[in-house]
Amino acid sequence: MGTEDNLNKYLHLLKGRDPLSSSLIHQLIEYRATIADNEINHQLLQELISKYAESEIQLKKLNQELTLKQDRLEQDMIAAAEIQKSLLPTNVNYGEILDVAWRFQPCDKIGGDIFNIIKLNDDHWAVYIIDVAGHGVPAAMVAVTVYQYLQPQSGNLSVRPEESLNTHDIRPPAQVLKFLDREYPFDRFDNFFTMNYVVLNIKTGTLISSSAGHPPPIILRKDGTLVTLKKGGRPIGTIDLRISMDEPIVYEEEQVQIGVEDKLVFYTDGVYEYQNALGDFYGNKQFHEILTALKDQPLSDLIETTFESLMAFGNNTAPKDDVSLLGIQLKTLGDN
């Protein structure tokens, strides 16, 4: 029998016989009950403190793990950005044939824009620029797979032996775009991309161009005239949509001549869609005006100053879309 039960029994025996003792015992019972309640509360408090301490330790551990994972992800993104940058053109292999300049500013650490210059044979070079819808890792992954598809050793840029008696024939731009459209359907990659693809004959200055929904390349003539190469077709990855609409899968081409004093400029829509704090767009008009104003500048200065003009317009605000500018200029024509 518990202490409280004994006290209650004793209190009952003393009831009416010893009021003072009965009162004292009643107070003792209340005191004992208070102590018991305090002990229970103290025990509960200790359990709560213990559980809180364990939770705090677990939370701290989880935070440390999350921080480590975030740091690893950050390092991986930085490494991926360096890899993507390493895929962009350099002047190493162009020698006295081409002058090349570019600026690339992804809106994330990595982006969906990519461009390249490829030697097809002694007379012909291919130039392309790609803008994958969206940005960040998903867009960059698609861009890199296209980059691999368009490598010279892939055989996708030259006519295969079974297709031609001349094994050195190259595929025209329209055919390359049509093949890409077939290889990159939207339902396979859950994405699409726009693209310019041109083939330049460095001996004659003949340029054959076709676009897949991409902003048209610009030829900046010596006198400041701008020639836009608009012919092409739909973005790559929309073949199923066109088939469902009974739309022909066609990419048109155009052929023009360029000289050593002409500059060929490729870009993505992140250039003219760049916005300032007021929501105003940089726009094609301003873009074309700056190119014309810089017509006499060396190619590297033209690209760099154009990019600086763009950033100044937006007060160096980070772009909401990837920004790419690529300039090409022939250094010589003919066999020299």
- pLDDT tens string, the chain, 336 residues long: the values are 555 565 556 556 555 555 555 566 566 566 666 766 677 777 777 777 777 777 778 877 877 777 777 667 667 667 667 777 777 887 666 778 899 999 999 887 788 899 999 999 989 999 999 999 987 788 888 999 999 999 988 888 987 655 554 545 899 999 999 999 989 988 887 889 999 999 999 999 999 999 999 999 999 999 999 999 999 999 998 877 766 676 777 899 999 999 999 999 999 999 999 999 899 999 999 999 999 999 999 999 999 999 999 999 999 888 888 999 999 999 988 765
- Six-digit token pair at 135? 């940005």
Q: What is the pLDDT of residue 163?
A: 55
C-alpha atoms less than 13 angstroms from C-alpha of 176 in its C-beta half-sphere: 29
Q: Helix axis angle, 137-149 relative to 173-183, nearest 10°?
A: 130
Contact 122, 185 (CB under 8 A): no
The beta-carbon contacts of 238-244 under 8 Å, at least 24 apart in sequence, are: 238/181, 238/186, 238/192, 238/213, 239/181, 239/182, 239/185, 240/185, 240/186, 240/187, 241/186
- Six-digit token pair at 253? 């081409």
How far apart CA 277 and CA 257 sit, in angstroms, is 41
C-alpha atoms less than 13 angstroms from C-alpha of 7 in its C-beta half-sphere: 16
Q: What is the pLDDT of residue 165?
A: 44
Contact 250, 230 (CB under 8 A): no
Which amino acid is residue 212, in one-letter code?
A
How far apart CA 10 and CA 262 sit, in angstroms, is 115
13: three-class secondary structure by DSSP = helix
Which amino acid is residue 309, in one-letter code?
S
Q: What is the pLDDT of residue 118?
A: 93
How far apart CA 27 and CA 24 sit, in angstroms, is 5
H runs (alpha helix) in the chain: 3-14, 19-86, 137-149, 173-183, 186-189, 239-244, 283-293, 299-313
Contact 267, 326 (CB under 8 A): yes
Chain mean position to CA 11 = 84
- Six-digit token pair at 316? 């160096």
Q: What is the pLDDT of residue 167?
A: 43
The architecture that CATH gives domain 94-330 is 4-Layer Sandwich (3.60)
How far apart CA 97 and CA 202 sit, in angstroms, is 7
Q: What is the pLDDT of residue 323?
A: 94
Helices (H) and strands (E) in the chain, counts: 8, 11
How far apart CA 72 and CA 152 sit, in angstroms, is 34
How far apart CA 280 and CA 332 sit, in angstroms, is 41
Q: What is the pLDDT of residue 195?
A: 97
Q: Which of 294, 295, 271 is nearest to 284 (CA)?
A: 271
Contact 171, 308 (CB under 8 A): no
Burial class of residue 32 (count of CB atoms within 10 Å of its CB; 0-12, 13-18, 19+)? middle
Look at the pTM and tell me if it is higher than 0.85.
no
Q: What is the pLDDT of residue 198?
A: 97
